[in-house]
Structure 1
Amino acid sequence: MILVGKISNVIKMLILLQSRGKMKIQELADEIEVSQKQIRNYRQDLEQEGIYIESEPGPYGGYKLLSNNNLLGLNLSIDEISVLDIVLRHLEYNKYIYIQEFKYIVDKIRATTNMKKSLDNSMDYFVKEAKESLSMQENKQKIKDINVAVITRKKLKIKYYSLTSGLKDRVIHPYGLYQYKGDMYLAAYCENRKKVIDFKVCRIKEYEICDVKFKIQSNFSWKSYMNNCIGIYKDNQEIELKLRIKYPISYIVAEKIWVDNQEIIETEDKSIIFKAKMRGLTEIKSWILSMGTNVEVLEPQSLRDEIKQEIEKIQKIY
């Protein structure tokens, strides 16, 4: 069995071989930052799991994945495959970049487990949210290349279009990709801004993988990076937020965990008092304004004033 401590490196090895076709042992060792001996051990571990890597000798040889690898001895239940169908529908609706590949995988799992596509007819699942206007297929190679840079810890040179500063050259250290509200984002350390920020992938107009390694900041963690944010906007300063929210919106808000530290106090008239420490002023304001007259900002006073000013600006337009 593959030990938990090896899993990350083994996955990196599989992705590298899949994306590049064939690689020397030393190339794999350099990319993953392990020894050649460890690469050979990973190969043995994978073979024990039924995933075979061929070794071709000679100056043009190297490791490559066999095309007949079988990863389907999974013993999945009907309920588990139903979950895959729900995920498939969600990805189809959002035009996920690898939807065809994922659909092929699901079909192979169905075939291996003797499940027919008629299962779809019994599903009743639909996603309704805004989708990215650009074709995800156009970004497919871009996302694939960026993911390799993330795995191999290589810097990226990019031309990025920012809404505030326009098109600019940047050198970044890609930490990881994630999806938010139908769009793909890259969290990366920006050498210009000297901090980790989010880049919307569709706004990366040009990119180049540098042959220069980087190290993730020792104090960086995904949990702290996303901590107390209701979206992707992040401010260093936390807001001690206190809202009074009327029914029925109060019921809808209480159904979700917006941030881990939130506190909800129910009142006799079905309203709630919502308390939380939150970051991301832009998104907090947008969230509050979306509730219209059903919400009142009790604290802080500065946010209450900003919401009032925003409402006055809207009134001038109409």
Structure 2
Amino acid sequence: MERIDNKDRLLMLRDIFEAETDEENELSIDDIIEKFKAIYGSEIKLNKNSLKDDIDHLIENNFDVTINQVKEGLPKYYSHQYRLFELYELRMLIDAVVSARFITKEETKQLIRKIKKLTSKPQAKMLQNEILIDSSVKSESHLVRVAINDLHHAIAERRIVTFQYGRYDLDKEFVLSHGGDDYRVKPLALTWTNDFYYLIAYFFKAEEIRHYRIDRLRNVQLTEETFPYDPFDVTKYVQSTFHMFAGSEEWIKVKFQNHLINVMIDKFGKDVSIQKVDNDHFVLTTKARLSSGLVSWLLNWGGQAEVLSPASLVDTIKEEIKRMQEIYKI
């Protein structure tokens, strides 16, 4: 009969515990022997005492093995219950991957398979994702993962980056902006906002901070040129933008109906300036980037929001409302 090398047997025993057992799935020594035979063939020779010694060795080396015995004389059952991730955490990871538009459909499937390997096979079956992978809203660019990796390196090493940037036209063809000219930037941070990854960077030509959808980058190149460290508050920048539209930053005041208080706290955080006006309204004061994204966001609330300042933003809102009235013949 064929025997297994002691080291191979120990490693395989650990693999069996990780793949086949959890809080609800235990194995007896006889069950473990059957698992070995399913892998190595029915002619394999295993000694129960050797397997028990292996289990003790795993425990002594801080590998979690839970031993369950109902009463003396009855068989013992063994399981590996400790996992780096709880089941609900793995569900959240899978849902995030499925929902992320910048990840292609094939990459989504690959990542889900890998995440499922972080738990036992029985629990992995419970991780069937209920969110449909909609290929119509998934990125078609397989360059995203490469760009993300390169840009992380560029930020860590403070290296200037060049790339081309583009958008889809009415024929759904991807067209490079500015005739395909390179953008030369100082990369500051990567952020995942509104289902997409963005590069926040200082654009040398315009002498200002801008952000770029990573799935729209092409030919990303790390140069040998470096730049000095400069602190940058990513959270503050993202909070001041609306739908990731760039613009000049100014203080704004907006009067909202009281029932929108939680929406504003979700957007700006609990530290945002809120002042009660009357029993029905409050005024929010914050810094924001004046842009078409901000205008669209404000108009989204209709009569539930009134811009108080700055005057330029009030005028822009009025002009947009007039354009809408003309379109709908009001």
Q: Same fold (TM over 0.5)?
A: yes
The residue correspondences of 1:1-318 to structure 2 (distance < 5 A) are: 75-76=82-83, 80-95=86-101, 96=103, 98-111=107-120, 116-120=123-127, 132=137, 134-161=139-166, 167-210=180-223, 212-226=224-238, 228-245=240-257, 250=260, 253=263, 256-259=266-269, 260-263=271-274, 265=276, 267-268=278-279, 271-282=280-291, 283-318=293-328
The alignment-based identity, stated in percent, is 18
**Equivalent position amino acid for 2:255 in 1:** L
Gaps of 5+ in 2: 1-79, 168-175
Counterparts of 1:286 and 1:197, CA distance in 2: 19
Code of the residue aligned with 2:226 in structure 1: it is F
Q: Which runs of 5+ in 1 are unaligned?
A: 1-72
Q: CA deviation at 1:186?
A: 0.8
The normalised TM-score by structure 1 is: 0.60
Aligned-residue offset at 1:86: 1.9
Say which SS state the counterpart of residue 276 (structure 1) adopts. strand
What is the letter of the counterpart of residue 184 of structure 1? Y
| Residues 241 and 299 in structure 1, CA contact (< 8 A), matched pair in contact too | yes
Aligned CA distance change for structure 1 residues 115 and 263 (closer, same or farther; 3 Å): farther
1:20-66 C-alpha deviation (Å, 9 max, x unpaired): xxxxxxxxxxxxxxxxxxxxxxxxxxxxxxxxxxxxxxxxxxxxxxx
Structure 2 counterpart SS, 1:116: helix
SS at match of 1:88: helix
Distance 1:133 1:313, change over 3 A: farther
Contact 1:230 1:258 in 2 (8 A): no
Q: What's the C-alpha RMSD, in Å, of the aligned pairs?
A: 3.8
The aligned length equals 238
Query: Could you tell me which amino acid in structure 1 is paired with residue 204 of structure 2?
Result: E
Alpha-carbon distance, 1:309 to partner: 0.7
- What amino acid is the match of 1:197? R
Question: What corresponds to 1:26 in structure 2?
Answer: none
Q: 1:127 and 1:267 mapped to 2: Cα distance? A: 45
Partners of 1:159 and 1:169 within 8 A in 2: yes
2:158 touches 2:226 (CA, 8 Å); kept in 1?
Answer: yes
SS state of the match for residue 146, structure 1? helix
CA distance in 1 between partners of 2:123 and 2:178 (Å):
52
Q: Distance in 2 between matches of 1:276 and 1:226?
A: 17
**Cα distance change on mapping 1:223 and 1:272 into 2, 3 Å:** same
- In our comparison, the structure showing a higher alpha carbon Rg is 2
d(CA) in 2 for partners of 1:76, 1:272:
49
In the aligned structure 1, how far is the partner of 2:228 from the partner of 2:93? 31
**How far is the alpha carbon of 1:307 from its aligned partner?**
0.8
What is the TM-score normalised by the length of structure 2? Answer: 0.59
Q: Is the CA contact (8 Å cut-off) linking 1:186 and 1:200 kept in structure 2? A: yes
Return the alpha-carbon distance in structure 2 between the equivalents of residues 221 and 141 of structure 1: 25
